C-alpha cells in the first residue's frame, strides 16, 4: 500500500510545477524505498530500463535534415504550395491529413509521419497558409500537432503487429487467455471511426469559426 506514495509524488510534482525529470526520479526513489528495495538496486533497475528503451530517442536523428531543408526554405515552399490550391482550408487540409495518418498507421507505417518529420516542416506551414488572414497561428499549429497524434493513436491499433496489441496479447496469455492479434485489432475499428468523426467535425467547425472571426 505504501508504494502508492510514488503516484502521490508524481501528482504533487505536477501540481507544484517541478521539472518532470526530477519528479519522475523522485517517484522512482520513493516507490522503490517504500517497497523495501535497496537504493542501489533501484538505481540499477532504472538504469537498465533506460538503456533498454533508447529506441524512443532515435527519432531525433531526422532533425539535421529537417533543419537544413528549412534553412533553404522548405516551410516557405510548403506554404506557397497550399496558397495555389483553390478551396484549400485549414480544416479540410487537416481532415485529409487525419485520414492519411489513420490509414497509414493502420497498415503499420507509424514512422512515415510525425512531429519532427512532417508536422513542423510541412503540415503546420500548410495549415497556416490555408487559414484566412488574421487567424491565430498558435492555435492552428496546436491543432495540427493534435491531428497527427489523434490519427496515429486511433489508427495504429488496427495493425496486428503494433506494440500495444502485442502487449495485450502477452498480458492476457499470462492469465491463460490465448487470443490472436487479429481478434484484438478488429475492436480498434469502431473507435478509429469515432475518432475520425469527432475530430473531423471539430476541424470543419474550426473552418467556420475562422471564417466568421475574420469576416
Q: Decide if residue 40 touches other proteins (CB under 8 A).
A: yes
The set of cell numbers assigned to 6 is 510514488
> Does the footprint of other proteins cover residue 164 (CB under 8 A)?
yes
Residue 116 CB partners (closer than 8 Å, separation 6+):
59, 60, 62, 63, 66
Does residue number 159 form part of the binding site for other proteins (CB under 8 A)? Answer: no
Q: Does 34 bind other proteins (CB under 8 A)?
A: yes
Residues 158, 192: contact at Cβ < 8 Å?
yes
Question: Shortest Cβ distance from residue 215 to other proteins (Å)?
Answer: 23
CA dist., res. 70 & res. 81, Å (int): 15
For residues 201 and 147, the answer to whether their CB atoms sit within 8 Å is: no
**Contact call for residues 154 and 102 (beta carbons, < 8 A):** yes
Q: Which stretch binds other proteins (CB under 8 A): 2-10, 85-93, 207-215?
A: 2-10
Output the smallest distance, CB 86 to other proteins, in A: 18
| Among 85-93, 146-154, 207-215, the segment contacting other proteins (CB under 8 A) | 146-154
Of residues 116-135, those binding other proteins (CB under 8 A): 116-122, 124
Q: CA 35, CA 76: separation in Å to the nearest integer?
A: 55
Hey, which residues between 88 and 117 contact other proteins (CB under 8 A)? 104, 108-113, 115-117
Do residues 101 and 147 lie in contact, with contact meaning Cβ atoms separated by under 8 Å? yes
One of 15, 16, 60, 134 touching other proteins (CB under 8 A): 60
Q: How far is the CB of 62 from other proteins (least distance, A)?
A: 6
How many Å apart are CA 100 and CA 96, to the nearest integer? 6
* Residue (106 or 113) nearer to other proteins, CB: 113
Instruction: Report 68-87 residues binding other proteins (CB under 8 A).
Output: 68-74, 76-78, 81
Amino acid at each position: 500500500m505504501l508504494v502508492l506514495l510514488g503516484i502521490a509524488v508524481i501528482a504533487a510534482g505536477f501540481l507544484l510545477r517541478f521539472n518532470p525529470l526530477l519528479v519522475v526520479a523522485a517517484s522512482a526513489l520513493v516507490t522503490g524505498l517504500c517497497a523495501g528495495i535497496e537504493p542501489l538496486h533501484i538505481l540499477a533497475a532504472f538504469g537498465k530500463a533506460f538503456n533498454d528503451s533508447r529506441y524512443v530517442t532515435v527519432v531525433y536523428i531526422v532533425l539535421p535534415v529537417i533543419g537544413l531543408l528549412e534553412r533553404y526554405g522548405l516551410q516557405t515552399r510548403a506554404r506557397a504550395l497550399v496558397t495555389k490550391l483553390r478551396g484549400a482550408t485549414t480544416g479540410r487540409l487537416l481532415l485529409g491529413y487525419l485520414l492519411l495518418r489513420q490509414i497509414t498507421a493502420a497498415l503499420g507505417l507509424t514512422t512515415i509521419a510525425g512531429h519532427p518529420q512532417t508536422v513542423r516542416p510541412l503540415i503546420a506551414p500548410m495549415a497556416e497558409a490555408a487559414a484566412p488572414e488574421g487567424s491565430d497561428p498558435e492555435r492552428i499549429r496546436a491543432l495540427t500537432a493534435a491531428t497527427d497524434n489523434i490519427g496515429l493513436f486511433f489508427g495504429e491499433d488496427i495493425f496486428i503487429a503494433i506494440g500495444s496489441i502485442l502487449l495485450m496479447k502477452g498480458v492476457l496469455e499470462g492469465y491463460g487467455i490465448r487470443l490472436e492479434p487479429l481478434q484484438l485489432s478488429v475492436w480498434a475499428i469502431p473507435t478509429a471511426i469515432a475518432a475520425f468523426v469527432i475530430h473531423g467535425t471539430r476541424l470543419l467547425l474550426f473552418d467556420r469559426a475562422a471564417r466568421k472571426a475574420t469576416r
